[in-house]
Amino acid sequence: MQASQAAATPVLTPTSTHGSNQSHRHTKRTAKDYIFGKLIGEGCYSTVFLAKDIHTGKEYAIKVCEKSYIVRHQKVQYIKREKDALNKLFNVPHGFVKLYCTFQDDERLYFVLSYAKNGELLHHINKVGSFQLNVAKFYAAELLLALEKMHANKIIHRDLKPENILLDENMHLQIADFGTVKILESDFKRGSSQNTTDKVEELKEKSDETNDRSRKNSFVGTAQYVSPDILQTRIDTPASDLWALGCIIYQMISGLPPFRASTEFLTFQKIMKMEYEFPEGFPSDAKDLVEKLLLLDHTKRLGANDIGDTYESIRKHPFFDGIDWDDIWNQTPPTIC
Ligand code: ADE
């Protein structure tokens, strides 16, 4: 498809709706309002650049997507969901990159995001090899709090991994890359109370996505962190993010993800067979928590049956002893070492 054809497709409604930044609120932004700098991230269908607002000098991470690619690869729904999820989370004070505005030109879509200066958690894990226990515990706690907010907003990330977890200028955690999210209309944590229209819409979306996924023999997520439920049944529940939490805690402490193989296929096989082991010296509380998160049956994972908007059963696990859940975002994070 030619770029001119793609431009006619209403891929995304531009917005500049959020009140916290006056300069974004009242003016219609274009790419000319920014000086684009270095490349800071690359996804399957997007590229992220560091950019400076020419009016304020403020730095942003601008995610750029080629419209022709989005249309050709039928990713329009993904882009819309990413924007919806980021909008839903805009007023959550901690734990997420913020979407300040979107705009488009003939060829591209632009997402203006907060810039997480200290980059990917993966980079920090790899730099030191593995985290000391207090560091792993701190970031696991911030990740859990962010998951609570995301799931309370009925958003399942489906691709949590240390590359999608960024650190801001104060070294606090921010979840990024909502390109694979699922936004559920039903109250998934408490069970029922879903109206018929919601149900029909959700089923339609699910069926479209399942067709899409099976047609391309693809899956949502990244091989090493994908849960067996997504692999096997393609059921979307918040417990798939709890599985990823287990993998990330394991990786922060040991340096590597639990399920590793030379190909995606072999990685999937290991996940389905729960073929992983703990290295010697892995702390026992951490081991117990990881074992309770990495369960094949998603309904049995720690937290999966918690009522309300917090994961009390995970918060109470001995691994998190000493964490002040009400104050963590105000604390100075422990030095990574
Ligand atoms: N890479 C992708 N998104 C980013 C962001 N918001 N900040 C920093 N690096 C990123």
Q: Say if strands 34-42 and 99-104 run parallel, antiparallel, or are unpaired.
A: unpaired
Q: Say if strands 165-167 and 173-175 run parallel, antiparallel, or are unpaired.
A: antiparallel
pTM: 0.88
For residue 71, pLDDT over 60 is answered with yes
> Does ipTM surpass 0.85 in this model?
yes
The DSSP letter of residue 169 is T
Q: pLDDT tens across 153-192, in order?
A: 999 999 999 999 999 999 999 999 999 999 998 655 533 3
pLDDT at 207: 45
pLDDT at 258: 98
CA distance 23 to 55: 8
pLDDT at 278: 98
- Which of 89, 92, 179, 156 lies closest to 298 in space, CA to CA? 156
CB 85 within 8 A of CB 182: no
Distance of CA 22 to the CA centre of its chain: 27
CA distance 158 to 221: 6
Residue 113 Cα: closest atom of ligand 1:
6
Q: How far, in Å, is the centroid of ligand 1 from the Cα of 116?
A: 6
pLDDT at 196: 37
Mutate to test the pocket of ligand 1, among 34, 39, 40, 165 (most ligand atoms within 8 A of CB): 40
pLDDT at 238: 97
Q: How far, in Å, is the centroid of ligand 1 from the Cα of 199?
A: 34
pLDDT at 24: 56
Q: Is 63 annotated as a binding residue?
A: yes
Query: How buried is residue 138: exposed, middle or buried, by Cβ count under 10 Å (0-12/13-18/19+)?
Result: buried
The whole-number average pLDDT for the span 106-133 is 98
Of all residues in the chain, the percent with pLDDT exceeding 70 is: 82
Which residues sit opposite 52 in a β-bridge? 35, 59
For residue 193, pLDDT over 70 is answered with no
Active site residue 159: yes
Of all residues in the chain, the percent with pLDDT exceeding 90 is: 78
Q: How far, in Å, is the centroid of ligand 1 from the Cα of 309?
A: 27
